[in-house]
Structure 1
Amino acid sequence: MTIRTLLAPLIGLGLLLGTQATLAAAPGAFTATYNVSQGGEPMGVATVTLRNAGNGEWVYSKDVKSTGGLAAMLGASLTEASRFRWKGDAPEAIRYDYQLQTGIKNKQRHMTVDWASNQVTLDEGKGPQTYPASPGMVERNTTSLALGLALRDGKQQITLPVAVRQQVQTQSFKVTGKEAVKVPAGSFNAERIDRTDAERGFSAWYVPARYLLPVKLSQHDGGDLTMELVSYRAN
């Protein structure tokens, strides 16, 4: 078993947390915390924040600390930070930074968007590569926020342009019903949303009238991961 295989659950957290909405005001700053588990076993704690960076830009970040399993033994931590501007009340990417640290291996990814030239530049330590940007584009870290905003505005089917490693990928999501969900933050009658354009085992449960982020999120691709909301507060 390779180190990459062992760390796949932590790397996959970035995929968990990722239609323009113009009907309501953009949200204010907040902080949310989640319990993270793998295959039903506790794995870590995630802290998600949104803050105003000034000059019309905002920063959305996720900080994951491992508390269980091999990832904790390796001292693994994951940080993702996205800088964006509002387009209507939907985020539009400006910069994305990813950093995975362990006692034996580090991994970084940096993405910037030059809207003047309509170009995305991505660097993973092997030299920069570029590809065309797309209006209203998000990246994987802000996808969950963009989905929450669209659900708040009553969308049932959502299409997002998402910047990935070599291109902007069109990702499709659909509300598939309401389900009772119990998490540390409480019990909810939540809207379930699933990704429909790829078989990636992605499902999220939102209560858009209360929270912009999911109260529960599950992903089977990359490690059978689950995130459950513990707390959410406006800052």
Structure 2
Amino acid sequence: MSELAQGQIFKSFTAALGRAASFDAPYQHWFIERPLPESIIGDLQTTQFPAPELGGVSGKRELHNDQRHYVDQDNIARLPAFAALANAFQAPEMAGAIEDFFSVDLNGTFLRIEYAQDVTGFWLEPHTDLGVKRLTVLIYLSDGDGHGNLGTDVYTGDKKWMKRSPFRPNFAMAFVPGDHTYHGFEARDISGVRKSLILNYVTADWRDREQLAFPDQTVSAGR
């Protein structure tokens, strides 16, 4: 599956970039329709990990690091959809296409993809992703009752709420982290589990190497 699916992911993602909607306020971000093949989305939707237990604590994802899941070496080895994702977004041709579209330098970065699962009680304070993250792409997966209202919250430079992205399967929000790219998640009821992918290209300063798709292999863009 992996080699064929890798090519399908490249074709789907680059085509989706070509029709992406760009917004300038409060910072440049993009809404991307159908970034992944539907077959991959289906596999990701049915991937089973234990749902997190928040214990009344939220606000930052790292508060529950022991319950997070990634497209890491272990999951790449056992889950074909994870392997296809990792290989597709690590590939030089994909990195080159992403660099061209987002005007970002990915050379020397590492691929990190989190399989995020959120339940009622989850919230995220406004944050920018600035620092070790060169690009953020949030790809939404779940379609439970009321999940259409579970998009990413977008804030102004002084952390005032401005808008909320749509949330539906195979829809994405992307941005290049900067000092004003505030985003988060306002607390609200979540029916079942809110599932999404958090795709980042991170610099060599990323400390948690076990989270990376290929801890010993940097990204190199090809043209």
Q: What's the TM-score bracket when you normalise by the shorter of the two chains?
A: under 0.3
TM norm structure 2: 0.28
- Report 1 or 2 for greater relative contact order, CA contacts < 8 Å, sequence distance ≥ 6: 2
